[in-house]
Structure 1
Amino acid sequence: MAAFNLTPSDPSIFILAGISGLEPAHMWISIPFAMLYIIGLVGNFMVLFVVWKEQTLQKPMYLLLCMLALTDITTSTSVVPKTLCIFWFNLNGITVGGCLTQMFFLHGFSVMQSAIVVAMAFDRYVAICKPLRYDTILTNARIAKLGLVVLIRPVLFVLPLPLLLSRQPFCANRIIPHTYCDHMAVAKMSCGDITVNRTYGLMVTFVVLGLDLLLVFISYALISRAILRISSKKAYKKALNTCTAHICVMLMSSTFFLFSTITHRFGQGIAPHIHIILANLHFLVPPMLNPIIYGVKTKELRDKMVKYTCRR
């Protein structure tokens, strides 16, 4: 397929450069990217299907896991298909409106994912610290209300990012040295003062993620105190095991997100292609591993997934 005949000075589009310095290797890089993306889609859709089909799994813990699966699917899909089009067909062009829309979705669903991780930490706190009241505290109706809050929060915090950028004048050279429209990558294309954009983006990152990490830390501090009071070794291991999957998911997604955000602002010493590859892995590795981690560590979910994947 031929590439679009685009010029960097075209005022209606941006040009996504892909992985700068590794253009000849784009085709080879696309192979693991595509494989990780497909595995992630299959795994997350499998989680959604199994929970939808099994009445016994329609409980708060698994409903939250479905929310996580939906955000994983949406976040990766907002980035990876366009990246593969750049690698395979050299379709580098993206309209300004499309770029700002992509920015809203990828950052908005990242914020949503962070909120879901907090909700899952609270779920584990109630399950371990208040097991007798679990069914009354975490009802499906409250999970639905929580899901509404999770949807509203990214709109309030992330929508100003593309709105602020839409008012900026952009330079004649509109080549973005990235595979997707990250907020700071686009902001650096502006010929105007981006102090407000830079400050607000940094504030959202540290206020939202910082508050979420604080809430998770408080939850796990209370969980740790409750676990240490358990005298039975078997009960101790069981309580500890219920948190393992969530801790793995939280650490993995937070590490990639923090690295991507901080290096865009302060990582001048990091080679551009290293940053871009690791930033893309943020949208590939967690969505692929999350259903695997929960499938392995959660017996009830694992048994149901085996039932549908291995039956004749």
Structure 2
Amino acid sequence: MVKNHGKKSRAKKRAQRTGASHTSAAAGTLHLHEPLPDVTVLPLIPHGSGPLDLDLAARLVAACHAECGPCQKSLAAQMVVDRTTLTALAGAVYGMVPTSGVHLSEATRSWVPAARAAVESGSGSEAAMAVAAMSEQDAAALLEDALDIWAAGDPVRLANLVKLVTGSRQRPADPMDAFREAGVKVVTLDDLDLGDDIDPYHLAPAYGVMPMRTNTPDGQPMPMLLLYPETEDAGIEDLEARTDWKRWGLHGMPDMDPRWRVRARISDRSLQGLVHIGADGEDDIELWRAAESVSMPAEWWDLLDRVQHMLVVGPVTEPEAPGAMEAASEAGELLAVVARVVFA
């Protein structure tokens, strides 16, 4: 009798751990839904305080993809208790994915504004408290709504979207700060006061550009400039360190910053450079300078003259490869800004 009790106890614990029913756990017929989705982006979602059960989240999403009712029921019951992980799992959906036209429970619909505010501000305390205060029924409804989207979509794309949105709030630290904090004296070109003897542009990471065109959200044509790295040190980390551009997911339009300027020369219809104007009115960042003058096609130039703004996007390693820009966007590694065009 004691032996039988121990067997039942072990089966119960195994059922709790795996999400399988008690009967299948006792019979030793446990199963796993593989591959498990990568949910390691969930800590990026503002979810208040407390640890996240990523294993539980991954197994629940996998069970939904497999349409395994018993596992979904058992694991969902555990998730409703774990309100912190539930907040992150639901926040990954309703903090950034459009919900217009989607049928939602009243509990979810009332919580969506808090989820979006959490992603915008980077603080999830209010969203987490709202989930913690939900009744078990409302929490179950929120979880069911979120899982419908997790199961219907691609977890990889959703994870990349999380990185895209949350990454836009984060700016990399200056690598020289680590040396300064360690007591190492850092000397810059400005400290050396070399005047015009050295051109800083040739010492910085180098980019090339590809003129293109796109459409605004209201369908109007707009000129576009695609940046690609020309040196090994050019790329997403460099652009994040040197600019304040936001990550862009190919939807809508990024912010317009009049301090970023594309210089164009009227005499030969050529682009001359991409610069940022500092507080003193002088160039403080130069991302690209034309090595030679190349006349732009007349139709593209007329569009540039008419719009006098340009969408600047990058970096894309192989700009001529089909789908390269889309791939960079899905990976959360595309920055963008709308710059002014200055004619001379």
Shorter-chain TM-score: which interval?
under 0.3
Q: TM-score, structure 1 length as denominator?
A: 0.23
In proportion to residue count, which structure has more helix?
1
Give the structure with the higher percent strand: 2
TM-score (norm: length of structure 2): 0.22
Give 1 or 2 for the bigger CA radius of gyration: 2
